[in-house]
Amino acid sequence: MELKIDYSNCLSFLKEEDILSCAAASAFHLEAVLNRTAAGSEFLGWVTLPHVIEDQVGRIKEAAAKLRTQAEITVVIGIGGSYLGAKAIIHALENEFEYTGRYDRHRVLFAGQNISEDYLSNLSSFLKGKRFNLIVISKSGTTTEPAIAFRILRKQMEEQIGKDSAAKHIIAVTDAKRGALRMLSDREGYDSFIIPDDVGGRFSVFTPVGLLPVACAGININDLIDGAKSITGRTHNITHPATNPALIYSAVRNLLYRKGMSVEMIVNFEPSLHFVSEWWKQLFGESEGKQGKGIFPSSADMTTDLHSLGQYIQDGSRILFETIISIEKSHNDLRVPFDGNDFDKLNYIAGKRISEVNHKAEEGTLMAHTEGGVPNIRIILPQVSEQSLGRLLYFFEISCAVSGYELGVNPFDQPGVETYKKNMFTLLGKPGI
């Protein structure tokens, strides 16, 4: 049940001794992460989370059980790291067709990740006449996108069930002492969880930010945490860098970047992993994209995108490399049926499992892309499960921190995200701008 890394399809572009040398050199950065001595060390609380968050698991599960009992829907309000981790896990582990036309199971929906009038209007219309909860996630409570969504949905809830009842349906995940949401939560008597000061949003998936919504969806958060814990021994290993998958991944991607491959495409062959890719894009994009540096994070869902992006990947500018999340086993057994007429010419694969066909599509794609000048790294998981996702997300977090330092930037700040906000506030006429 281990996570494995395979960089053999990079060896026609890089020398193995250079990869191992870079990984060994990066052990210095990893040691700084573990000892909290590097730039941005005040935001390294996430490193030990898999081992310390267990103290809060009981209360998180208790709160989630209450929410599931008292309403049919929970709306999670947040943006960036305040929703992407939970969305990634829930989307990966739930059957997306289960809720079609039926509402006998608890649903977790999301808001506050955009400022679309149509999105919020449609969500509001859907919630009319239904009992719903709100989990609002924000350190400050004043971030524009979630603040707008919370104002609208809180007002709707209070109108539908009354202000006193509404307070029992709202949980705030916010700062321990400061901010507008903390003040409102204390004043209105909302139940609340704390976002640790030393954990930034994109590294917060193993805090109540990620775990509470995931628990509301009925997913086993103990297994998720156990998965993250199980890979710390390997990803914290500075003595044998060649066996540390995080150091190897960081080394390969940085060496490819130095060769002019400035775009990394995270690829999956399982549609359930779509939002894992979205979470990964924020993690690496916000951590590395600064000072005129950084690998641009992009994504593709295969084989779907082979019919849209495949031509460019195969024959376009040689500026990209791929990281494939490769899943060894599916949960189901579905086979291609035999057809006596064979009008679609598929009888040559009749009786084969769909997963076998998918694996051959993956294998053939990676062969073609490597031959076409696109190196690729495979991150191999045995199955999509709570434990494997816990391993994967924590592996990426450690890799991202090390890779950012190897690039020469502070992976834990994001000065560039404020520019659009200042312009927007000025255009809207916000006082004091």
Same domain membership, residue 356 and residue 251:
yes
Dist. CA 212–CA 62, nearest whole Å: 10
Same domain membership, residue 240 and residue 218:
no
Structural domain for 139, as ranges: 47-222
Same domain membership, residue 198 and residue 143:
yes
Same domain membership, residue 349 and residue 259:
yes
The answer to the question of residue 423 being in a domain is: no
In this structure, how many other beta carbons lie within 10 angstroms of the beta carbon of residue 201?
25
Please say whether the beta carbons of 74 and 135 come within 8 A: yes
Same domain membership, residue 237 and residue 178:
no
The answer to the question of residue 204 being in a domain is: yes
CATH of residue 84's domain is: 3.40.50.10490
Same domain membership, residue 270 and residue 215:
no
The answer to the question of residue 165 being in a domain is: yes
For residue 195, give the DSSP letter. P
Same domain membership, residue 62 and residue 8:
no
Dist. CA 428–CA 414, nearest whole Å: 23
Residue 421 known to be catalytic: yes
Mean pLDDT of successive 10-residue segments in the chain (433 residues)? 93 98 97 94 96 96 97 96 97 81 73 98 97 96 96 98 96 96 97 96 98 96 97 96 98 98 98 98 97 97 97 97 98 96 96 97 97 98 97 98 97 87 85 80
From 174, 194, 222, the end of a domain falls on 222
Please say whether the beta carbons of 224 and 201 come within 8 A: no
Report how many domains make up the chain: 2
**Choosing from 130, 163, 293, 421, which is the catalytic residue?**
421
Predicted pLDDT of residue 272: 97
Predicted pLDDT of residue 75: 98
Same domain membership, residue 388 and residue 240:
yes
Same domain membership, residue 151 and residue 102:
yes
Same domain membership, residue 232 and residue 199:
no
Same domain membership, residue 196 and residue 244:
no
Residue 307 known to be catalytic: yes
**Choosing from 286, 288, 322, 406, which is the catalytic residue?**
286
Short-list 30, 417, 423, CA closest to 241: 30
The answer to the question of residue 248 being in a domain is: yes
The answer to the question of residue 127 being in a domain is: yes
From 174, 199, 222, the end of a domain falls on 222
3-state SS, residue 78: coil
Predicted pLDDT of residue 100: 47
From 222, 243, 268, the end of a domain falls on 222
For residue 338, give the DSSP letter. P
Dist. CA 132–CA 162, nearest whole Å: 13
Residue 418 known to be catalytic: no
Same domain membership, residue 28 and residue 73:
no
Identity (one letter) of the amino acid at 371?
E
Predicted pLDDT of residue 101: 44
**Torsions phi, psi for 32 (to 5 deg):** -65, -35
Please say whether the beta carbons of 409 and 293 come within 8 A: yes
The answer to the question of residue 431 being in a domain is: no
Predicted pLDDT of residue 37: 93
Dist. CA 217–CA 108, nearest whole Å: 6
Token couple for 41: 């060390």
Dist. CA 232–CA 285, nearest whole Å: 23
Dist. CA 433–CA 425, nearest whole Å: 7
Token couple for 68: 């599931």
The answer to the question of residue 429 being in a domain is: no
**Choosing from 17, 307, 345, 418, which is the catalytic residue?**
307
**DSSP character string of 7-42:** -GGGTTTS-HHHHHHHHHHHHHHHHHHHHT-STTGG
The answer to the question of residue 424 being in a domain is: no
